[in-house]
Structures are given as structure tokens and as C-alpha cells.
Structure 1
Amino acid sequence: MHAWVKAGVRATAAGALLTLLASPATPALASAVTPAVTPAVTPVSASAALGCLTETLNESWGAGSVTACSGGQSGSGWTRDKKSDGKCVQAVVVFLLPQGGRSSWQAPRSCPKDDYDNFSIPSPGNSIGVADIDFLNL
């Protein structure tokens, strides 16, 4: 079995060019591989998480669409209650924070039937990604 060994990461100061060099090596050779360049920017895994996530809902009990963004960017969305069941429709957004932290935001509840709510979604300035968007029938 081969192990992939990161040989180096090179990035421009603006982050426009990111090249990941990798080479297959056996575990015995892994200790012999030395990084060609030390990364000077955010690691690839964190920068890949930055941006926006969109989720939609179209069920018998409710509908909605939410776009949530990280890094202090504003998102937006809407929800609508479609059923006379005494329950409400609500969107919940979970943001990723540095060092494995998480923060959640809850939209206003849409109810009773045919209630429609528009909302804007603030993101924490230090958030590094959007982990999940869920629609709840409460």
C-alpha cells in the first residue's frame, strides 16, 4: 500500500495560485521526504472551506432556500410553512470557527400555514466555513 506524502505547498501572497505537490511513497521513504517550500498562507483545508453554502427545502410541511456565507459575509434566505399542523418551519445554520469551534444561527420561525419569512444571515467575522444548513419542522 502506498502513502501519499505532501512534498510541498507553494502559494502567492494573494492566494491566487495554490499548487499542491504530492508524490506516492512507501512508509519507509516518508521520513526522507522534506517539504520543498514551507506554507506561508492558510492551509488548503481551511481555505477550501471558505465561501458560501446554499440549501433548499420543498416538502409537504414547508419550503425554503438559504445561502449562508462565512468570514463575516452576509447571507440570506426565506422559509414558508405549507401545512396546518401546528408546527413551524425554521432554518438553522452552523458555522465553522477556528480551532474546531462551531457557532449556530437560527432563522425566525415561519408559522402558521402560508406564513412566509425573508431574513438576512450574519456570519461571525472569524468563521472559516459553513458546516451545515438544516430546515426544521418544529
Structure 2
Amino acid sequence: MQNVKHAKKTAKNQIYYGTRLLTFGNSTVRYDQLCNLAKKENSALRIRDVYNVNKQDDSAAFRIFHSQLLRMSIDSDKLSLFVYLFILGELFDAYLNCKISHKTRIIIAMHAYFFLDFWKSHIEKTGKNISNKWYSVARSFISI
């Protein structure tokens, strides 16, 4: 990861693209989930973070991985969004936060690695069992 701020913006933008549907088992990460969260009172997200977005906005990328938004996304219909934001947010924090010990950074990085590897394997297996037309790494996984 050469530029973690760019990676953070890319992870945020993955949710916005209609060409990809990020699937986690029987749940998904979707743009409308962010729209609903942005409309709630005291949301970490602003309306401009989800409508007419500036895809290069560092502040919006910060807000989307904010702990307040994580708390708001702990809901049965947003479970995949919570997992996505938590795993990737922790990974970015491990890189950016100089107060985290090396041991903790390694643990966080390994959690993210195993999660992403398991997710990719799930997509590949589902594609083989059902249809590569609907389930493939190109359609249902984050772009790398």
C-alpha cells in the first residue's frame, strides 16, 4: 500500500459504484445504506458525502470510516456494511496511527488479510457453484 489515503478513498468509492455489488454471504454492502445513514440525525456522514460526491475528498473518506458511523451501522440489514467498514477501517488505522504497537498492527493486518482472502475465496466458490456471470471477483469483490 503506497498511499493509504488513496486506498481509503478507493475503499469508500467501492460502495458507490453500481458496477460492483459487494456480497457477504446472504448480505450486501450498498450505496443506499450510506444514503440512509447520511440522512439520520447526528450522522458522521454529510449529505454531500453521498450525493454529488467528490471522489477525491479526504474528509469524506475519513468520515465514512468514523467510529460513529460504525455504531450506526450495527443493524441486521447493514451487517455487511459494518464488517466492511470495520475491517478496512482498522487496516487503515493500523497504517496511519503511530500510537499503535507493532504487534497490534500485525494482528490487525493479519485479520484484514484473512478476511479479504476468505471473502475472495467465497466469491470464487460461489461463482463456480452458481454462475460466473453473476458471481465473480470482477463483479462482487473490491477492485485492487
The verdict on a shared fold, with TM-score over 0.5 as the criterion, is: no
Scaled by the length of structure 2, the TM-score of the pair is 0.21
Say which structure, 1 or 2, has more relative contact order (CA 8 Å, 6+ apart): 2
- Determine which structure has more spread, i.e. the larger CA radius of gyration: 1
Scaled by the length of structure 1, the TM-score of the pair is 0.22
The structure with more strand, counted as a fraction of residues: 1
The structure with more helix, counted as a fraction of residues: 2
